[in-house]
Amino acid sequence: MTATTLDPQLTGVRVRGRRGSLTRHSAFLAIRSLRALRRQPAFAVATLVQPIIWLLLFGALFERVVDIPGFDAARTSYLEFLTPGVVVMTALFSSGWAGTVFIEDMNRGVMDRFLASPVRRGALMAGTLAYQAATTIVQTVVVLVVAVIAGARFPGGAAGVGVTLASACLISIIMASFSNALALLLRSQEALIGVSQFVVLPLQFLSSALLAATLAAGWVADVARFNPVDWAVVASREALSTGTDWSAVWSRLGLLAGLALVMAWLGTRAFRTYQRSL
């Protein structure tokens, strides 16, 4: 391996130039991850089938919950209420495993070679985040299509779909950054999975992903106001509905974007801690 070229057996792409652009390096690394996913068709199918099962199973199980007084008079079906929640839940759970790729690279010695190469540290993070965002977009489109086939209708149209995609991608970036940082600090797949699940499950249930906040305990609704998962769900749900409150949508998207930038920066800083501990 020369000083200007990464071993293609490690990356699947060639990265030239000690001062190559962050965008180009990030694209190369995202493509590397996509190629790895293509070589695991069973995993790729599972990532698409799981949200469909959630959507249809929860949709049937809680179908009559909309009849509870005060649930959400603006919704004609629980399926329409649930769909944004499943979209965000899928992004949350999928991105919670993002750090396992870093751990595999550490175990194979690939991470150390990356850090000794011309690849920029920010690109190592941005490449994985771009990959997570790409898979999240595919999953979101699949969930929305299945929901429409099952009978859901979303008056928000293209604008609502765009906000839903943006919300899902932002929550995916937030969680993937956290997962990657944990991987660099913990270096253990078992520890990463344990901590991720400890964080992901409360974030899911302390939000309005499955149930209207008006029906939850008061303290749950209070916590949900500071929960990024709830920000994403509410923004998506509002944008897909009739009479969208765009102020609620843009404020939550702004909060998600700000948190995504902070988490991506913190995740990149974790490379320094990893290198110092070598």
Whether the predicted pLDDT of 56 surpasses 80:
yes
Whether the predicted pLDDT of 43 surpasses 80:
no
For the whole model, what pTM was predicted? 0.86
Q: Evaluate whether residue 5 is within a structural domain.
A: no
Cα–Cα dist 180/98, whole Å: 6
Cα–Cα dist 7/99, whole Å: 22
Its domain, for residue 96, covers 19-276
Better-scored residue on pLDDT, 163 or 106: 163
Q: Evaluate whether residue 9 is within a structural domain.
A: no
Average pLDDT of the residues of the chain: 85
- Local confidence band at 122 (pLDDT 50, 70, 90 cut-offs): confident
H or E element at residue 151: none
- Helix axes 22-38 and 41-61, enclosed angle (nearest 10): 80
Cα–Cα dist 9/19, whole Å: 22
Q: Evaluate whether residue 10 is within a structural domain.
A: no
Cα–Cα dist 126/184, whole Å: 15
Q: Evaluate whether residue 238 is within a structural domain.
A: yes
pLDDT of residue 164: 97
Percent with pLDDT over 70 in the chain: 90
| Residue-wise pLDDT tens digits, 94-107 | 899 889 889 988 88
Q: Evaluate whether residue 1 is within a structural domain.
A: no
Q: Evaluate whether residue 23 is within a structural domain.
A: yes
Cα–Cα dist 233/111, whole Å: 35
| Residue-wise pLDDT tens digits, 2-27 | 333 344 444 444 444 444 577 887 88
Q: Evaluate whether residue 249 is within a structural domain.
A: yes
Count of Cβ atoms closer than 10 Å to residue 112 Cβ? 14
Identify whether the C-beta of residue 144 lies closer than 8 Å to the C-beta of residue 83. Answer: yes
Q: Evaluate whether residue 8 is within a structural domain.
A: no
Whether the predicted pLDDT of 267 surpasses 70:
yes
Identify whether the C-beta of residue 230 lies closer than 8 Å to the C-beta of residue 207. Answer: yes
Into how many domains does the chain fold? 1
